[in-house]
Structure 1
Amino acid sequence: MKLLRCLPLALAPLIAFAAGEKIAVIPKGTTHSFWKSVESGAKQAGAELGAEIIWKGPLKEDDRAQQIAVVQQFVSSGVNAIVLAPLDDTALRGPVKSAAERNIPVVIFDSALKGEPGKDFLSYVATNNTRGGEIGGEELARLLGGKGKVVLLRYAEGSASTGEREAGFMSVMKKHPGITVIVDNRYAGPTISSAQDASMNLIDKVREADGIFCPNESSTQGMILALRQTGLAGKKKFVGFDTSAFLLGALAKGDVQGLVAQNPVRMGYLGVVTAVKHLRGEKVETVVDTGCVLVTKENRHTPEVEAVIGK
């Protein structure tokens, strides 16, 4: 099988000296495995560069008010830079503008913020989310042989990253006249539990469907749990997103046939590297693509996939 990816993979070269900058890294949430990997990458970069990494974010990925408060706290305390994964592409514009007014550069990572990289904020470091959704759609269309009924369980309104993945997925579905998307207006919500509930609430449509797509870790896991609960696991063609230990285990069992894998360690790492390079007077890219790759049971242990998700 051709390996579908949107890369490059190699880590950027680091700057040779340390200056002890304080970098606040603010995720969308702190419970999912994805964010723990981001934290690992951010702290790796901090250790190599001699920068202090302060990791803080809301517990759940629907607490916009808490994330805004965290950004405002770091703006007031005067950190040297902020690396932020905005929960909402609009609601976080004000706090980011406040940081700029205090001469605190902001690197946006993982999920877009409305505005222009290099102007409204320093840089955007993320997966090409539209391409990631296209990769998921291409694989599901291949699994279905270009025909059948499909359920798209979206993540949450206002989340730019998953919205781009969903749009990429839908653009591929429209290219296949033999495929009908029978659900595309339901949302999983911010947790695995809410995703499982949402999946159970549309289980009759899931029974009718031949294929399923979910755009992030929690929506994919919640759908798998619902499929297991109803005896449908392994009976539907299913492509999800992200690669926690749970999801990779489900891939090995055949409960999901494909996962679009981001590189969260690289994302956290390059978010911090970009901020520190700027603080040290180096020119930085306004958009940094951290890459993604399709993971299947067949290619799981190939060197290219392991370079993204580990062994």
Structure 2
Amino acid sequence: MKRTKLSIPLAAVLALLTLVVGVVAGRATSGATGGSGGGTGGAAAGKRVDVIIKASDSAFWQTMLAGSNKAAQDYGFAVSTFGPTSETDVAQQVQLVENSISRGVDALVLTPNSSTALNGAIERARAAKIKVVIVDTKVTTESDGFIGTDNEKAAELAGKQMCDQLKKQNKDTGGVLIEASVAGVETITSRENGFKQGLAAGCPSLRVIGPRYNNNDVNLATSQVNDVLTAERDLVAVFAANNASGVGAARAIKDNNAIDRIPVTSFDTDAQEVAGLMDGSLDTLVVQNPYFFGYQGVVEAGMAAVGTAPPFNLDPGAVLADKSNMDKPEVKALLSPPTAQAGK
């Protein structure tokens, strides 16, 4: 558990609107923040905000924690950070929410590992007058705000780009594998559906294989992609729905010496995915801004805690990164963002 408490007061929250516009327009970087908290005081200064991420072993969520900690520094919140070891450990995440309720925090920023399994804990938190801002994955119960990428729209763009890429290679038939993490998670389902729509719009003769689910296990993802490469001789491309899937797919593509013939598009970014982008085992990354998730999540939680209504739905957008733009400053910053550990 990490707790950051600083005496810097809360600045005017409306100043963050310029940051929001920058992100939606695709110009945000991982280091973008709001004001410096240099005002003369504010009701939200010192409010206790717990941030619970999906998994402490993921660089993506560690970047979200870095954003959360920066918001604490900028606005004077008392932020504590937590996360289960794995995205598949829903029970531990429920327990972390229950712990926050017991401590009586003012607000909670939660990236749920299930769209439904956290509902009871969320409802108990709100019944205890704790404001709850949901990040990344929508839930089917009420909350005080949601921040997350429109995964279906972003994946649809990735599907269209994949179609264009295959057309340039004169490949308008064959199989496209969808390699994914966990079945039934709202974000993953939206990415699968969006990618299929984008692919079908321009390449209706391509056949979708899967999805294959790997439970966020890179080794299993590698094995599954290897199996499909062997069994499906007409495989022409792979879409990986998250970072573990992307790292596994990149390994399989390299193992089979298929870099030049099987393009791979993957969601998210971590050090291994960036390395894959550089060596060609990954062709495109759908890059989100988890730093913004953490920063804006804490700010909105603080707003809600003092009765100021934050934007109820906020989509920071996503960027398609490949070798043609990965060295541009605004994209490079998203590919190599800062990270922080939960509880440290």
TM-score normalised by L of structure 2: 0.82
* 114, 130, 143: which one aligns with 1:121: 143
The separation in 2 between residues aligned to 1:207 and 1:244, in whole angstroms, is 30
1:57 maps to what in 2? 83
Cα shift readout 1:11-43 (whole Å, capped 9, x = no counterpart): 574464462122111111111110111110111
| Bigger shift: residues 14-23 or 292-301 | 14-23
Letter in 2 for 1:265: Y
1:214 equivalenced with 2:214 (yes/no): no
* 99, 108, 125: which one aligns with 1:82: 108
Cα shift readout 1:268-294 (whole Å, capped 9, x = no counterpart): 111111101122332210001122100
1:99 maps to what in 2? 125
Question: Where do 1:246-265 residues align within 5 Å?
Answer: 246-265=272-291
* 112, 120, 143: which one aligns with 2:165: 143
Whether the aligned pair in 2 keeps the contact of 1:147 and 1:176 (CA below 8 Å) is no
Cα shift readout 1:27-71 (whole Å, capped 9, x = no counterpart): 111111101111101111111111122111110111111111111
Distance 1:6-1:128 versus aligned 2 partners, 3 A rule: farther
Letter in 2 for 1:75: I
The separation in 1 between residues aligned to 2:279 and 2:232, in whole angstroms, is 20
The separation in 1 between residues aligned to 2:155 and 2:98, in whole angstroms, is 32
The separation in 1 between residues aligned to 2:233 and 2:253, in whole angstroms, is 9
Question: Where do 1:1-311 residues align within 5 Å?
Answer: 7-10=25-28, 13-14=34-35, 16=39, 17=42, 19-115=45-141, 120-145=142-167, 147-149=172-174, 150-205=176-231, 207-306=233-332, 308-310=334-336
The separation in 2 between residues aligned to 1:61 and 1:268, in whole angstroms, is 17
Letter in 1 for 2:122: V
Whether the aligned pair in 1 keeps the contact of 2:303 and 2:309 (CA below 8 Å) is yes
- Per the TM alignment, residue 202 of structure 1 is displaced from its structure 2 partner at its CA by 2.7
| Bigger shift: residues 268-277 or 151-160 | 151-160
The separation in 1 between residues aligned to 2:301 and 2:33, in whole angstroms, is 13
| Bigger shift: residues 145-154 or 173-182 | 173-182
Whether the aligned pair in 2 keeps the contact of 1:28 and 1:57 (CA below 8 Å) is yes
Gaps of 5+ in 2: 1-22, 338-344
Structure number with larger C-alpha Rg: 2
The separation in 2 between residues aligned to 1:158 and 1:69, in whole angstroms, is 21
The separation in 2 between residues aligned to 1:174 and 1:97, in whole angstroms, is 39
Distance 1:39-1:180 versus aligned 2 partners, 3 A rule: same
Q: What SS does the aligned partner of 1:210 have? A: strand
| Bigger shift: residues 188-197 or 10-19 | 10-19
- Per the TM alignment, residue 131 of structure 1 is displaced from its structure 2 partner at its CA by 1.3
The separation in 2 between residues aligned to 1:163 and 1:38, in whole angstroms, is 22
Whether the aligned pair in 2 keeps the contact of 1:173 and 1:179 (CA below 8 Å) is no
Letter in 1 for 2:317: G
Q: Which runs of 4+ in 1 moved over 6 A?
A: none
TM-score normalised by L of structure 1: 0.90
Letter in 1 for 2:131: P
The separation in 2 between residues aligned to 1:160 and 1:76, in whole angstroms, is 28
Distance 1:234-1:126 versus aligned 2 partners, 3 A rule: same
Identity of aligned residues (%): 28
Name the Cα RMSD after superposition. Answer: 2.1
Q: What SS does the aligned partner of 1:144 have? A: helix
Distance 1:7-1:131 versus aligned 2 partners, 3 A rule: farther
Aligned length: 303
- Per the TM alignment, residue 113 of structure 1 is displaced from its structure 2 partner at its CA by 1.0
Cα shift readout 1:143-173 (whole Å, capped 9, x = no counterpart): 1017132111122112111211111101112
Gaps of 5+ in 1: none
